[in-house]
Amino acid sequence: MPLGTLDRTPPPFFKQGPSALSKLVVFSALALFLMVADLRFRITVPIRTAVAAVLYPVQWLVLQPVQAVSAAGGYFTSLHAAQAGEADALKRLAEQAERSLQLEQITLENQRLRELLAMRERTGNSATGAQVLYDAADPYSRKVVIDRGQTHGVEAGSPVIDESGVLGQITRVYPLVSEVTLLIDRDQAIPVLNTRTGVRSVAYGQPSTAGDGLELRYTLASADIAQGDLLTTSGVDGVYPAGLPVARVTSVERQAESSFARIRCEPLARINGTLHVLVLRPAAAAQPPSPWAAQPQPVAAPPAGTATPGRSSAP
């Protein structure tokens, strides 16, 4: 390249233009003008709207990760709170269910105790309240143990009742506890009275795999007895007071080859699961002594010619 064609003028060290002070004044005036114009004429509102519409997708896209992280944190926080609330609700529900069961049990127990007190007033006999502790250890007998014994004035042979009727009889007495043989035991028998016909009979315990109950033995097939008849104590044995509910007839089987009917009865007392009972005094002990026994027996006159003690015979 020829040397003459080269530009030998050096470039200026600083570009020439308006000074910084003049630029400051111009831009300050422009800013002030725009502020006054925007305040008076609202000339920047369309510009702001257009800019906001253009930048909205960018803003939405930029905020998505932030919102996702915030939503995830809120989800886990709410999940933990929901799980904690559920556990608390289940715990309170279990406590309320337990209280409800206790309330139902207490209500049922109070109702049975009221019925037991009503039964005590109906008998008109002195009674001792007792609680059933456990069943006897003998699996071939129907016996329970109560928390009253000799120290509480319990006597052997005393009848035991619950709120529904006769439960059994005291057969063994210990210092602090007593053993009650239930009516359904095979060795138990109780005189009963049919309230509908007034016929007396004896009910025997009849334990069986089909269901424990009572049986009226030696009842003629022609006897007037029907299903549903109520049997109460007759009081002829001197043990059970008269009028206590005992059982209800459930079935009457009359066979042509037998002179006696087979009669099954269901005890009215709660044989299984009873908790509170009353121990009555035997009917013979509760009855007043006979006035005839208090009168002195007449003394037979001595035969003629026999000397009376304290007197001398005539010559």
Reported confidence tier of residue 314, pLDDT bands at 50, 70, 90: very low
Condensed to tens digits (0 to 9), the pLDDT of residues 187-204 reads: 899 999 999 999 999 999
Helix (H, G, I), strand (E, B) or coil at 178: strand
Condensed to tens digits (0 to 9), the pLDDT of residues 16-62 reads: 677 888 888 888 988 888 888 878 877 778 888 888 888 888 888 88
Evaluated on CA atoms 129, 134, 137, 141, the torsion sign reads positive
Do residues 281 and 126 lie in contact, with contact meaning Cβ atoms separated by under 8 Å?
yes
Q: Is the pTM of this model over 0.95?
A: no
pLDDT for residue 5: 58
The residue written with tokens 């007392």 in the block is 269
- How far, in Å, are 22, 72, 76, 93 from residue 81 at the CA level? 64, 14, 8, 18
Side-chain-facing half-sphere of 176: CA atoms under 13 Å: 1
pLDDT for residue 36: 84
Q: Give the whole-angstrom CA distance, residue 93 versus residue 90.
A: 5
Backbone phi, then psi, for 184, in 5-degree steps? Answer: -80, 0
What rounded mean pLDDT belongs to the chain?
80
Condensed to tens digits (0 to 9), the pLDDT of residues 158-167 reads: 999 888 889 9
pLDDT for residue 286: 53
Mean pLDDT, range 242-266, rounded to an integer: 90
Taken in order of first residue, the domains within the chain and their CATH numbers are 127-285 (2.40.10.340)
Condensed to tens digits (0 to 9), the pLDDT of residues 79-107 reads: 888 888 888 888 888 888 877 777 777 77
The residue written with tokens 């549903």 in the block is 228
Lowest mean pLDDT among 80-94, 138-152, 185-199, 291-305: 291-305
pLDDT for residue 2: 58
pLDDT for residue 293: 47
3-class SS string, 122-163: HHCCCEEEEEEEEECCCCCCCEEEECCCHHHCCCCCCEEECC
196: exposed, middle or buried (Cβ count in 10 Å: 0-12, 13-18, 19+)? middle
Mean pLDDT, range 168-179, rounded to an integer: 93
Residue 124 has pLDDT above 70, yes or no: no
Reported confidence tier of residue 67, pLDDT bands at 50, 70, 90: confident
pLDDT for residue 175: 92
Residue 176 has pLDDT above 60, yes or no: yes
**188 Cβ partners below 8 Å, 6+ apart?**
168, 169, 181, 182, 204, 205
pLDDT for residue 249: 94
Tokens of 204: 């025997």
pLDDT for residue 252: 92
Reported confidence tier of residue 311, pLDDT bands at 50, 70, 90: very low
Q: Give the whole-angstrom CA distance, residue 109 versus residue 107.
A: 5
190: exposed, middle or buried (Cβ count in 10 Å: 0-12, 13-18, 19+)? buried
Tokens of 58: 């960018």
Residue 78 has pLDDT above 90, yes or no: no
Q: If you count DSSP H runs as helices and E runs as strands, how many of each does the chain have, helices first?
A: 4, 12
DSSP assigned state of 3: G
